Amino acid sequence: MDRRDLLKLSPLAAAATLTTVGHNAFAQAAAPDDLTKNSDGIFSVRHYGAKGDGKAVDTPAVQAAIDAAAAAGGGTVVFPAGIYLCFTIRLKSRVAIYLGAGATIEAAASPKPGETTGYMGGAYDAAEPNDPWIPYQDYGHNHWQNSLLVGIDIEDVMIYGIGLIHGKGLSNGTKGIRGGTGGFVAEQPGVGNKAIALKNCRNVVLRDFGILKGGHFALLATGVDNMTLDNLVVDTDRDGFDIDCCRNVRVSNCTVNSPWDDAICPKSSYALGYARSTDNVTIANNYVTGCYELGSVISCKWKHFDETEHVPYNGRIKCGTESNGGFRNLTITGNVIEGCKGISLESSDGALIEDVAITGNTLRDIFDAPLFLRLNRRNRNPKETLRPGTLRRVLISNLVSYNSNASTSSIFSGIPENLIEDVKLNNCFFGHKAMPTEMRAGWGEQVKPMPDWKTIKVPELEPDYPELLRFGATPSNAFFIRHLKNLEMSHVEVAPSGPDPRPAFWLEDVHRADFFAVTAPPQPNFALHNVSDLRIFWSRAGKDTTLAKVDEQVV
C-alpha cells in the first residue's frame, strides 16, 4: 500500500491497516466522526453490546470486539465516550485500541480479602505459574495475566487516544488504601494487579491517553521489543513504567506522578526464566515527579501532600533494582524531574550497566540527592548465574539540580572488589539546601535527627537492597564517592544555599580522579581516603593539587 492509497482510508481505518505495516506508522492515526458504528477495519465496543454506563460489566462486549478485529486480520477497536467497567481484557496481535474523548476503561473492583469474586461476581484472570523463577523478583514482576489489559506473545499493537485507563479496582501490591480505594491483596486469586501488562511482544505503541491509579504497575513490559510510549499522563499509586528485559524502547513526552514508587524504571529481572538485558532505551523530554496527591496531576489541580503526611516522594528515573541481565546503551535526556528522588543507576544482581548518557536534565526540589550510582552484590538470582556486576562508561552532562535535600549527598559507590569505572560529569550545577538538623530515613517516610557529620561512618551494605537512604547521612555535602576508578569532573559547581561545613567531595578507594574548573564554597572541599592519581586544577573548590597516592588528607 502506498501513501496515496492510505490517505483514501478514514483515520481509524488507516490505523487498522497500519497495524500490519509497522508500528512507527501509527503516528498517522486519528479519530473518526462516529465511534459507535462498525466500518471497514473499525470495531466499536458499542456494536458488541458494551453499555459504557459505569454500572454494567463490559468485559464480554469489549473482548468480542477485540476477537472480531483479530479474526478479520487486524483492525481498531474503538471506545466512544463512557465508563466501561471491565475485568481482564486480552489484547490480540494487529489490533489497535482507540480511546475516544470521554472514554474510560475502569478496572472493576477486585475480590475483597476472603472473597472469591469482585464486582457483580466478576474476577480478573488468575496469575499464571512462573516457577521456579518466582524467588528472584517481586510478586508483581512474576505475573501478567492478572491485569486489566494483558498482551502475551503478540505483535503490532497500539493503544491510543485521549481517553483514560482507571485502575480503580486494582491492587497496588500493598494492603494500603491510596486515593480512596484499595486494600485488595495482590496474591489473592481473582485480584487485578496491573493496568497494562505485556510479555514477549513486538512493535507496541502506547500514545496520548492517561492512566489513573495503575495498580502495582501502570505498565509492566517484559521482553518487549520495539516499543514507543509517547505523550502519556500517568498519575498512580505505585510504579509508573517498568521496562523489563526490553530492547529498542522510546519513552518520550510523558508525565508521571508516582509518589510511592518509581516513575520510569528500566529493569532486567529473571522473570522470563533467563537473564535478558534491557538495551537501546531512550527516555526523553518527560516530566517526572512524586510530590503531588494522587489524581491531582491528571486533573491539573497540582495539589501537594500535606507536610504531616509521611510519603516517600519516590518518583525518579531508575535502572534497577532487578538487574540480572544488564542495561546497555541508555540515553536519559531533556527530562524535568521535580519533587522526587532524582536519577539512579543500580547493578545489584550481576548486571552489566554500560554506555549511559544522562544529559540536559533539570532537577528541582529533589528529596535526598539528585544522583545515585550503585554497584553491589545482592545477587537475587539463581546460584548458577551468580557473577560480579559492572557499572561503567557513564556520562552526565548539562545537568541542573536546584534545592535538593542535603543530609545525604549524591552517592557513587561500588564495593571493595568491584569498582565502578569511567564516570564523567561535565557542565553541571548542584544547588542544595544548608546542612539540616533532621534527615529522612527508611524509605523516606521516617524522620530522625541529623548526626554530627564528623562522626558519620557510611556503611558498605554490600548484600543489601540498593537504596540511597539506607546509607544514612554522609560526611560530604555534594558527592560521596567510594570504590571507583577513572572519574572526571569538569565545569561542575556545588552551591549550598546556606552553611554546610562538610567538604563537597568525599573520595574513598578512588583511583585516577581529575577535577577541572570545579566550584564550591571556599573551605576544605576534598576529603581523601586511599586515593591515587588525583589532580585538581583551575578550580575554585581547591588549590591546584597533584597527588600520586594519599591515605588520609583533606585539601
pLDDT digits (tens, 9 = 90+) for 486-535: 999 999 999 999 999 999 999 999 999 999 999 999 999 999 999 999 99
14 pLDDT exceeds 60?
no
Percent of the chain with pLDDT over 70: 93
User: In this structure, what DSSP letter does residue 263 have?
Assistant: E
pLDDT value at position 68? 98
Give residue 310's pLDDT. Answer: 84
> Are 274 and 306 a contacting pair, CB within 8 Å?
no
C-alpha 169/C-alpha 109 separation (Å) is 4
Under 8 Å CB-to-CB from 529, ≥6 apart: which residues? 506, 507, 508, 509, 551, 552
pLDDT at 383: 83
DSSP assignment of 391-436 equals EEEEEEEEEEEEEE--SS-EEEE-BTTB-EEEEEEEEEEEEEPPPP
> Is residue 4 predicted with pLDDT exceeding 60?
no
Q: Quote the CA–CA distance of 108 and 45 in Å, as a whole number.
A: 17
- Nearest 5 degrees, angle CA 442-CA 479-CA 396? 105
Contacts of 489 (CB under 8 A, 6+ apart): 424, 425, 426, 428, 514, 515, 516, 518
Residue 442 reports pLDDT greater than 70: yes
3-class DSSP state for residue 446? strand
Maximal C-alpha separation, the chain: 77
pLDDT at 18 over 50: no
Q: What is the average per-residue pLDDT within 30-40?
A: 74
Q: Which helix (H) or strand (E) is 14 found in, with range?
A: helix 11-18
**Residue 227: pLDDT above 60?**
yes
188/185 Cα distance (integer angstroms): 6
Sequence-ordered list of residues with C-beta below 8 angstroms from that of 113, at least 6 positions apart, any chain: 183, 184, 185, 188
Residue whose C-alpha cell reads 480505594 in the numeric block: 181
DSSP H or E segment with residue 533 = strand 526-537
Give per-residue pLDDT as tens, 357-377. Answer: 999 999 999 999 999 999 999
- Condensed to tens digits (0 to 9), the pLDDT of residues 376-432 reads 999 998 987 778 899 999 999 999 999 999 999 999 999 999 999 999 999 999 999
pLDDT tens digit string along 64-94? 999 999 999 999 999 999 999 999 999 999 9
Task: Give pTM, 2 decimals.
Answer: 0.94
